[in-house]
Amino acid sequence: MARDAHRAIEAVWRIESPRLIAGLARMVRDVGLAEDLAQDALVAALETWPESGVPDNPGAWLMSTAKRKGIDQLRRGRTLERKQEEIARELEVQVAGAEDDLVASVDDQVGDDLLGLIFTTCHPVLSTDARVALTLRLLGGLTTEEIARAFLVPEATLAQRIVRAKRTLAASRVPCEVPSGPELSARLESVLEVVYLVFNEGYSATAGDDLLRPALCDDALRLGRILAELAPREPEVHGLVALMELQASRLRARVGPTGTPVLLLDQDRGRWDRLLIGRGLTALERAEALGGGLGPYGLQAAIAACHARAPTAEATDWVRIVALYDGLAQLVPSPVVELNRAVAVSMAFGPQAGLDLVDDLADEPALRAYHLLPSVRGDLLARLGRAEEARAELERAAFMTRNTRERDQLLERAAELRD
């Protein structure tokens, strides 16, 4: 009985904790305090529900309990600021109301509260690593241990990162709200960056023994879908969702039976997830329908759509992909975009055309430690029949990557060129 109750509490917490923390953060004006109050409510549920049973509206129960604990905590201080007094009085008024009214007020605010929390955890005042960790902690519902394991970081280091992030937000008096005016675009860019960083770490792990960490892809997709519901008029939100859906559709085909990576052109397209492809194409249509031209995520989604629509690797419209990369390079010029464009050019117009572009990137400081530069160069040299040069580049790439699966694959491809 107790075990069943604990399972139910865990499931409820996964669903309700982002809403709960978001609502509390709006009320107490402090993300760290909001999470503490939510955790206190969880402890109360663990103590109470195994005996009394899970309430009909567990979210409202948790919110009401957290508010009562918030009142106690605010009142306990010997010297209370006027603002704390006001917050405590507001909470008392809300707790004194009927539970049905509480449920209605929570439901009315939940969209704005969640959106506000996303903008808060992704605030530019925090470092990128801190934004990622705090977002997964408060909105992804992951434990510190789960986040640390996913990013191969010591748990103590990750815990300190989250604590510092909450202190920084409190010290900077960052409000838990959706920004307005010109600030909205800049802040939205930070939110989308965090979600895509989480997805990419799941799609192609930077280090460790696994190429994929599908749980991170799932978390990023869930955050992206929530964001699309909360901000339906933002084309780049739909562009990012489209990109993630389309890339996630290939996950099952990205690794072989032994866990080694399978390159895009060699993947069994019958293993691509047609449901995710359909969702991705629909999200891309939404982004296009909002007008104003596709942004960086939308353009990358359009490139992914070219692959998704091609029944075979040979049928891929590489000329269109080159054109899309041209547009992407104009919007967000970067050596990585140029490297990807060079691959597309090689497929559309031949390996020498691609190699010429790659060689132009050889001295780019941003690519000096980027293992995909020698990897791409090695592939192009191999296609041109320059086996010895290709082998040297693939071996160089192997010793630059921190992912053991990628390293093994690169060394295997290099060894094949000896024969």
pTM for this model (two decimals)? 0.80
Of the ranges 217-231, 324-338, 379-393, which one carries the lowest mean pLDDT score?
A: 217-231
Segment 306-358, tens digit of pLDDT = 999 999 999 999 999 999 999 999 999 999 999 999 999 999 999 999 999 99
Say if CB 59 and CB 66 are below 8 A apart: no
Say if CB 115 and CB 19 are below 8 A apart: no
CA–CA distance, 295 with 183 (Å, rounded to integer): 18
Angle subtended at Cα 48 by Cα 43 and Cα 49, rounded to the nearest 5 degrees: 100
Helix, strand, coil percentages, rounded to 5, for the chain: 75, 0, 25
Say if CB 52 and CB 5 are below 8 A apart: no
Helix 99-121 × helix 182-203 angle, to 10°: 80
**Cα-based distances in Å from 219 to 208, 316, 356:** 20, 30, 39
CA–CA distance, 184 with 87 (Å, rounded to integer): 27
Helix (H, G, I), strand (E, B) or coil at 304: helix
Tokens 């008029």, located at residue: 233
- Of 300 and 24, the one with more pLDDT: 300
- Of 212 and 320, the one with more pLDDT: 320
